[in-house]
Structure 1
Amino acid sequence: MSPGAYIAYFSMEIGLAPGVPTYAGGLGMLAGDTLRTAADLGVPMVGVSLVHRKGYFHQRVDPTGWQTEEPVAWSLDDHLTELPARASVEIEGRPVQIRAWRYDIRGTGGASVPVFLLDTDLDGNAAADRLLTHFLYGGDSHYRLCQEIVLGIGGARMLDALGYADIDRYHMNEGHAALLVLELLKRQARANGHERPRPEDIEALRPRCVFTTHTPVPAGHDQFPLAMAEKALGAGMYVCLLDEFCYEQKLNLTYLALAASHYVNGVAKKHGEVARHLYAKYRVESITNGVHVATWASEPMRALFDRHVPDWRTDNPGLRYAIGVPLGEIREAHRAAKRELLAYVNHVTNKGFDLDVFTIGYARRATAYKRPTLVFRDIERLRGIARRRAVQLVFAGKAHPHDLPGKELIQEVHRAMGLLDTDVKIAFLPEYDMTLARLLVAGTDLWLNTPQPPLEASGTSGMKAAVNGVPSLSVLDGWWIEGWIEGVTGWAIGEPGAAASDDRAAEAASLYDKLERVILPLYYDEPDRYVDVMRRAIALNGSFFNTERMLNQYVTRAYFR
């Protein structure tokens, strides 16, 4: 990488701020945390995404637990600055004009990372084209393909229009931005004097591209029928499609990104192994995800860190010194965060949650492989546990509008409420977003994670919890394989080294056993020992599973390599 050059970070979603609904979940939060850390460290990055004028969606949940969706109403110019520059792409032969809105992320040392959010809602564009940057993950596959033309091809052209002529690396955060490769490949072929791209043009381009894949779940990998791709992209762009980018007569954006990148990584060590099996033709490394500590630490925890680890914002590894913080101070900081969360829960649900009752949190996208209802597998077992030692549970999460099984899982949580309400208080908090996530990861006593292995690529909510001293009870998948030390940073569901399966009965039994025999007795009978687990979650996991460590690994392994 040359001095003064930029890394362009392309992502379909970026979580910038609570009032800017340009994210859906973990992928967007990871992107936002990455760019916040780039600003802190002074890494020369620029972010590119879409403006998502209608957001992901506003979640409504009726008394039966059925989710419905509404567009998000927000004012762009309250948060963003419109720029005069214009770029254009062709979609099905039509010119589509693009403008950009700018959001600046300010780092702790005064550096800034600009993020450009692309927008097609312009006079002169066809009515359908004006809607392309309205909905995050909205519409059908044709709508998605058109969005990704705007993001990848339009994003590269917009950077040119804005004067970023010195982009040294293009980092594709998941395959949504992979059409960027076609634009870059055309340019490379032209520079090499070729009418259409040749294999040597890909070789020349590869050192400039980095690709991070975030999921082994097929739905997370965009692919489009070749006929649809050819029609949308047009002949001039379509000639860039070489055989290795396509699979089973479809344009596969994951393969497009893989073929054009010199560095490819999964987002945890286990995910790297899984991805190497999926993409055996390619070299796949791993860089485990992290979180932006200063964003996710609660106010009481920030004050605690300020007293005992003064430079923690600029030296996240220094959180290891939390191992010396008095237990009483950790207890009081956590209790303050818990009080804030339960005040919100009681205000929204009128459930009467009790500050002195053990509180379990579960919040993530509602989809089948996340298995949010595993804790309700044996209602009577859970009831018996709670009658002996009080337990209350807080749930949150959105299902994709087209994910019917995901919506039914939210209903299952509500049915469990009715069955257990006299013995276990259960709250489902709608509209899971950045603000609610901050409350949940800081204010619960235990973070629950129950994915079907090996489908959890990484997960970051448990990392956010660890920063706040909240230990995890989790299936051994994703990042937890690396962060788990039994009884020290949290607890595992199931046996280490067991073959990946979907044995829900066995995993539910393990979950109940850990709660009944280990975790609840520790919490109620030996509170100092429980707080010591909280302290070690901060010192061991908070100090490592952060985006400061993560971005430094990208810099040394992918950007400067």
Structure 2
Amino acid sequence: MMFPNKNSVAYFSMEIALAPEIPTYSGGLGMLSGDTIRSAADLKIPMVAVSLLHRKGYFTQGIDSEGRQFEQPAAWEVESKLVELPQRVNVLIENRTVHLRAWKYEVIGCFGFRVPVILLDSHLPENSEWDRSLTDHLYGGDQHYRLCQEVILGIGGVKMLRALGYSNLQTFHMNEGHASLLTLELLDERLRQSGQSILTDADVETVHDQCVFTTHTPVPAGHDQFPMDLVSRVLGDRDVYGMKNIFCCEGKLNMTFLAMNLSRYINGVAKRHGEVSQHMFAKYKIDSITNGVHAATWVSPAFQDLFDRRIPGWREDNFNLRYASGIPTDEISQAHQVAKQQLLDEVERLTNETLDPNVFTIGFARRATAYKRPDLLLDDIDRLQKLTDQFGPMQIVYGGKAHPHDDQGKEIIHHVYQSRKSLGEKIRLVYLPNYEMKLGQLMTSGVDLWLNTPEPPLEASGTSGMKAALNGVPSLSILDGWWIEGCTEGVTGWAIGEDDHQQHATDRCEDANSLYDKLEHVIFPLYLQVTQDYAEVMRHAISLNGSFFNTQRMMQQYVVKAYF
């Protein structure tokens, strides 16, 4: 695959999961960003990524004896993980100069190709104490803090790339609206190049042709909006404010609309999400590219060994995982038991709870927030107990953080934790603290069934079930996001409820009953049979879903549809 010039794509994201010991991510968006860059390196796509340093990370989650979440800073040793670059740039915030430096992390692909990740840092002595803190916390502070961060990411990011010599970038990819202010710096560049003082339609069209935008959520909280008085105070007076078709929406700066107005290509992250987004933003043409995960990152060591023996070259070409259909089911079961024991060992280390490797184990780990409905499984504990009377014991492993300001999400964690008291002896439930990359890999590979219960149509994509599929773990999920595409009933996993193709919420009670029905009438009987029928579903999860729902396929689609 040939590309026009070196480092053609600049990929901007507020969070990127680079490594477990670098806490510059909070959850799904950061995980996707990291997997995107890893696959870009594998495919030798000329890319440079830009984010913020987040010296104090997102947060480290603790859970007390009552099931209450508490947060601590996730401090880390920047100098031991990254290389400081000598270049310096500055941005104007509230009419004062904020100085920025950059640190570099290199992602190395399976063929040795390198994608640099540039992390911006305002922690410099020439800045005020408050300005030095602007690159400390991911998703911290109030609207003022967030807007100042987004100035650094978007405007500062473009300036830093230019200072580093990236003069021929063909495409600027905004991963969510947090980076949308990069469009303002590109417009300013046009003015400086032309020597004019007023933007023309030709300037706007040029910037429009340079940018692509990916939207990741239908949830309003995922679309940053700032009042124009705050925008004027932080950014100063700009002629672009008067260009209402570009900048202002109902008296506010809406970062999503700014990105859409100045992008040649816009996409959602699953087919259904593209449809939902098109309905939400009817005046724009919105395509879809379904998310994936980086296979080599998320496949457990036991399955890596199995794939290396049975499917040589699977790392270089993930589509080779189709050939998992020829792996004997007993070998898949054996590899899974190794992964399961590794998870249970970590459970014991974190909680002092000893779980049984021979007991059916359900896993759930997402950001703890209301629309993801983490506690749907616990809606009818009496019925859950009757299932164990009929089929024997079960184990449930939970994980996931609530945003520090999401009191409802914290209460859900508390409710899940407290439910242990009423579950009885046959149902063991643990809630693992501080869900992050390492724990995510252990959970998605080590449980027997991956559960996902979002309130449709609010699930844009979801990727945890894709990680599970790579490890032969079937999903039981609401038909939303990627699972509409990934679910072949009884073959790759199972659906909760029906897909009525309507963009409205389903009934919680109906969804819970469907969940219990599927466990009672399908999944438990299949799992407990002496035959290898359950292992056959595991094998199909790998060969059908693992081979397709990966970032290698995803990035190939971005290259064809969005980048070049």
2:65 maps to what in 1?
63
Give unmatched runs, 5+ long, in structure 2: none
Aligned mates of 1:373, 1:5 — CA distance in 2: 45
1:260 maps to what in 2?
262
Q: Find the partner of 1:405 among 382, 386, 408.
A: 408
Instruction: Kindly indicate whether residue 261 of structure 2 is the aligned counterpart of residue 225 of structure 1.
Output: no
2:551 maps to what in 1?
547
- In 2 relative to 1, CA 346–421 (structure 1 residues): closer, same or farther, beyond 3 Å? farther
Instruction: Kindly indicate whether residue 482 of structure 2 is the aligned counterpart of residue 482 of structure 1.
Output: no
2:457 match: secondary structure: coil
Q: Find the partner of 1:184 among 176, 186, 191.
A: 186
Aligned mates of 2:531, 2:372 — CA distance in 1: 30
Instruction: Kindly indicate whether residue 397 of structure 2 is the aligned counterpart of residue 394 of structure 1.
Output: yes
Tell me by how many angstroms 1:238 deviates. Answer: 5.9
Aligned mates of 1:546, 1:413 — CA distance in 2: 31
Tell me by how many angstroms 1:199 deviates. Answer: 3.0
1:453 maps to what in 2?
456
Q: Provide Cα deviations, 1:308-364, integer angstroms capped at 9, x if missing partner.
A: 110000110110000000011100000000000011112222332100000000001
Aligned mates of 2:58, 2:166 — CA distance in 1: 29
Q: Provide Cα deviations, 1:509-530, integer angstroms capped at 9, x if missing partner.
A: 0000000110011001145000
Aligned mates of 2:241, 2:196 — CA distance in 1: 12
1:244 match: secondary structure: coil
Q: Find the partner of 2:236 among 223, 228, 234.
A: 234
2:526 maps to what in 1?
522
Q: Is the 8 A contact 1:196 1:239 kept in 2?
A: no
Which stretch of the first structure deviates more once superposed, 19-28 or 348-357? Answer: 348-357
Q: Provide Cα deviations, 1:405-426, integer angstroms capped at 9, x if missing partner.
A: 0000001101211111423100
Number of residue equivalences = 560
2:499 maps to what in 1?
496
Instruction: Kindly indicate whether residue 507 of structure 2 is the aligned counterpart of residue 508 of structure 1.
Output: no
Pairs within 5 Å for 1:346-365:
346-365=348-367
Aligned mates of 1:240, 1:191 — CA distance in 2: 22
Q: Find the partner of 1:417 among 420, 430, 435.
A: 420
The letter for the 1-side match of 2:545 is: N
Q: Is the 8 A contact 1:290 1:549 kept in 2?
A: yes
- In 2 relative to 1, CA 225–424 (structure 1 residues): closer, same or farther, beyond 3 Å? same
- In 2 relative to 1, CA 238–348 (structure 1 residues): closer, same or farther, beyond 3 Å? same
Aligned mates of 1:345, 1:498 — CA distance in 2: 39
The letter for the 1-side match of 2:400 is: G
Give unmatched runs, 5+ long, in structure 1: none
- In 2 relative to 1, CA 412–522 (structure 1 residues): closer, same or farther, beyond 3 Å? same
Instruction: Kindly indicate whether residue 26 of structure 2 is the aligned counterpart of residue 24 of structure 1.
Output: yes
2:325 maps to what in 1?
323
Query: Over aligned residue pairs, what C-alpha RMSD do you find?
Result: 1.2
Q: Find the partner of 1:146 among 133, 145, 148.
A: 148
Aligned mates of 2:159, 2:470 — CA distance in 1: 39
The letter for the 1-side match of 2:272 is: K
Which stretch of the first structure deviates more once superposed, 259-268 or 1-10? Answer: 1-10
Q: Is the 8 A contact 2:487 2:495 kept in 1?
A: yes
Tell me by how many angstroms 1:245 deviates. Answer: 2.4
Aligned mates of 1:527, 1:71 — CA distance in 2: 49
Q: Find the partner of 2:542 among 516, 538, 547.
A: 538
2:56 maps to what in 1?
54
2:237 match: secondary structure: helix
Aligned mates of 1:131, 1:386 — CA distance in 2: 52
- In 2 relative to 1, CA 272–137 (structure 1 residues): closer, same or farther, beyond 3 Å? same
1:85 maps to what in 2?
87
Tell me by how many angstroms 1:57 deviates. Answer: 0.2
Q: Find the partner of 1:116 among 115, 118, 121.
A: 118
The letter for the 2-side match of 1:516 is: E
Which stretch of the first structure deviates more once superposed, 20-29 or 347-356? Answer: 347-356
TM-score, with normalisation over the residues of structure 2? 0.98
2:134 match: secondary structure: coil
The letter for the 1-side match of 2:53 is: V
Tell me by how many angstroms 1:240 deviates. Answer: 7.5
Instruction: Kindly indicate whether residue 110 of structure 2 is the aligned counterpart of residue 105 of structure 1.
Output: no
2:434 maps to what in 1?
431
Q: Is the 8 A contact 1:447 1:465 kept in 2?
A: yes
Q: Provide Cα deviations, 1:430-451, integer angstroms capped at 9, x if missing partner.
A: 0000010000000000000000
Aligned mates of 1:237, 1:98 — CA distance in 2: 25
2:494 match: secondary structure: strand
Aligned mates of 1:421, 1:190 — CA distance in 2: 70
The letter for the 1-side match of 2:266 is: V
Instruction: Kindly indicate whether residue 560 of structure 2 is the aligned counterpart of residue 556 of structure 1.
Output: yes
Q: Is the 8 A contact 2:7 2:48 kept in 1?
A: no
The letter for the 2-side match of 1:121 is: H
1:512 match: secondary structure: helix
